[in-house]
Structure 1
């Protein structure tokens, strides 16, 4: 199949050995800049997608979407309130809980933690905590015994292993003034390994045992909820609270941990802007390449005009000439970006093993590993945006080629 004349001329100019090495250098640098910009943007977006996936599937699998906590605990008649909450159309599950601020002690070491009393059966309707604990430990928590499931980060910090006895320091029930805490000996029956910040904060005991410690026969601190639209959890929990006869605090993950989601979206937006600016700078190199190429080939352009080449043909020829770098850069950038997105988690894992140090600390980040999730829609958007920028950069220099006067150049 014969190529159109403009494509033939543009590709012929690009394949021809350029007598000006400076033009060749600028042309190569523009291609390399587009490759780096496209590849880094795809990899960066994949990492942000990975963080968002882990936030939804891991973090929100342990943290309830919303909570209704009694202003003056305990929450009275919580069974009726559970039924009322489950009747709401956007609520997928509800479970009662008792919340403690506690210190856990082993020997001379102590660490603060959030201790939560839960019912394992109803908790499954609200969170997927059991997936990060194990069936044996989860079954043990069903018994009304002094048994504890502990975050793996806390256990590592204090040197606690499964089966050990540890001491919990809890506030004395119904105590109105400062006093010494009550000490409770519990057995660690399992560890929660979520791989992140929550491993350093949480511990769980049986709900009935927590009621004994609080001296609440049937009372609870509040009710945790799972909703069908986590991003609108605050509005849904608020609508559920309006049906409650007792005053409650309205809590949702968007109020307590919403900054995580907002940070991910902010970084994604900044990354888009920065990387597209890198591609734009590389596209300006295409402008420089074409301007120099037009200056060098003014004689050739004049000859083509005398042979009958029209201005649109010359315009399209130099657009093809300049777009070749952009197309080549986008293709190689997409290839390196996809390969980098797929291999980056393994590379970071290998690097952490080699250094003996975690690059993402669980004390700071909500996960302690680097995730990545490649979306082909992101690849398409990035490549198309880079192609548009690189093609737009060719229009003005290509238009300059049509302004060449054959009489002045060949006279």
Structure 2
């Protein structure tokens, strides 16, 4: 097979030599350093993609994309929902009512946000069904005052299926005997686990009518409507437009950017900053090729001089060492990409196994919004990392190759 002379010589310089194994060892360490940089960058970017994906699917699949509320309880919500559904961006609408308070059981207390839902409508706007461990959402029947809790809240209260919990509302009841807090007994009919500490620890689901009765509202009244959008990033603008169309003075909109927007923006900013820092690591590894090639040039001055006397041009000499550096960069990048993709696909399972073996959780759901390490490998990230590594590797070959091309045959052979 035909190969240009500079390709043959440049590729041969990357292999072990009988005379100087140290130069070949330095070439190997340059490949390893570049491969490690690519591995780390692919794995870390995949983990950040995983956090982004879990934020969208789990957390934003449980909390409303947007809500339409009014200053007073909404009467005849089906008519309002019909108007909201006319917007092409809205995929589904469901009524909701909320109330904050405390849950108590056997002397234990846990703060809770009770979310009153219509089990039939809730399936259209929430992915709660995917995370129910015990019971069913349909078990939240009106008049039975059932409640579904996150597993963290259930563990803290020490309750299970069928146990009774007392809800303490943030209101008081005035009686002839004095003022007393409003209390209501609920029966645990389900337990869910989303993997997000905020939801598993502080969210409770109950029937819409039951919570309306606790509010002392009229039958059929609700606090607002929960909206699900085809594109959640359209929620801020579209929900505001819907509220304007329904009546600016009567209705107002809330969207997910007010409750979880800062967290989502933080994830995006962290991914950008970490990617930049890791790119510097890849750059350091790539520019190790400079020192490798400079040593090769010094070691091969006699060979360069002989090639020049045989008629090789400075351009051909330069291309020889550019080929050698490029081979180091390509091999290191490809090995790093292969191992990086393998690590990114298995890092979640590996960390989960390690947590089980040592009995320690690396991610605390009280600090992070999930309690496990997610990973999502994207082809775009792999191509971006590999492209950056190859470009930096190629740039690193220019100075040593230029220096080799300037070698003067007479001076190089003077002491040979």
> What TM-score comes out, normalization by structure 2 length?
0.93
The corresponding residue for 1:205 is 206
Which residue number in structure 2 is paired with residue 337 of structure 1?
340
Q: Is there any run of 5+ residues in structure 1 with no aligned partner, and where? A: none
Deviation at 1:11, TM superposition (A): 1.4
Measured against aligned partners, the alpha-carbon deviations of 1:242-298 in whole angstroms (never above 9, x if no partner) come to 012353342111121012221221121122211111111112211111112112211
Between the aligned partners of 1:223 and 1:191, the Cα distance in structure 2 is 24
Matched, 1:279 2:282: yes
Give deviations 1:207-255, integer Å, cap 9, x for gaps.
Answer: 1111111111132211111111102211111111101235334211112
Report if aligned partners of 2:93, 2:125 keep a CA contact under 8 Å in 1.
yes
Identify, as 1 or 2, the structure richer in strand.
2
What secondary structure sits across from 1:95 in the alignment? strand
Q: CA deviation at 1:331?
A: 1.5
1:395 partner SS: helix
CA distance 1:226–1:87, shift in 2 (3 Å) = same
For 2:180 and 2:402, the matched residues in 1 are separated by: 84
Alignment match of 1:233 (pick from 229, 232, 235): 235
Aligned position for 2:327: 324
Q: Distance in 1 between matches of 2:6 and 2:179?
A: 88
Work out the CA distance in 1 between the residues paired with 2:239 and 2:402: 60
Which residue pairs with 2:95 in the alignment? 96
CA separation in 1, counterparts of 2:137 and 2:256?
Answer: 24
Q: Is the 8 A contact 1:18 1:24 kept in 2?
A: no
Q: Any idea what the Cα deviations from partners look like across 1:71-120, whole Å, max 9, x if unmatched?
A: x3323443322111111111111111111011000111101111011111
For 1:110 and 1:135, the matched residues in 2 are separated by 22
More moved, 55-64 vs 75-84: 75-84
Q: Deviations over 1:348-404 (max 9, x none)?
A: 111111121221112222221111111223212211210111011001110111111
Q: Give me the whole-angstrom Cα distance separating, in 1, the residues matched to 2:87 and 2:294.
A: 66
1:9 partnered with 2:12: no
Could you tell me which runs of 5 or more consecutive residues in structure 2 were left unpaired when the two chains were aligned. Answer: none
Contact kept, 8 Å, 1:29 with 1:282, in 2: the verdict is no
| Higher alpha-carbon deviation: 157-166 or 212-221 | 212-221
Task: Decide whether aligned partners of structure 1 residues 38 and 179 sit closer, same or farther in structure 2, where only a CA change above 3 A counts.
Answer: farther
What's 1:49 paired with?
49
Q: 1:22 deviation in Å?
A: 5.1
Query: Which aligned pairs between 1:2-401 and structure 2 lie closer than 5 A?
Result: 2-17=2-17, 19-20=19-20, 23-70=23-70, 72-133=71-132, 136-172=135-171, 180-197=180-197, 198-217=199-218, 218-245=220-247, 246-401=249-404
The Cα offsets for residues 30-61 of structure 1, whole Å up to 9 and x where unpaired, read as: 22221111001111111112112212221122
CA distance in 1, matches of 2:258, 2:265: 11
Residue range with higher mean Cα deviation, 44-53 or 101-110: 44-53
**Is contact 2:150–2:200 with CA below 8 Å preserved after alignment?**
yes
Compare 396-405 and 246-255 and name the one that shifted more.
246-255
CA distance in 2, matches of 1:27, 1:262: 41
Query: Which 4+ stretches in 1 moved above 4 angstroms?
Result: 18-22
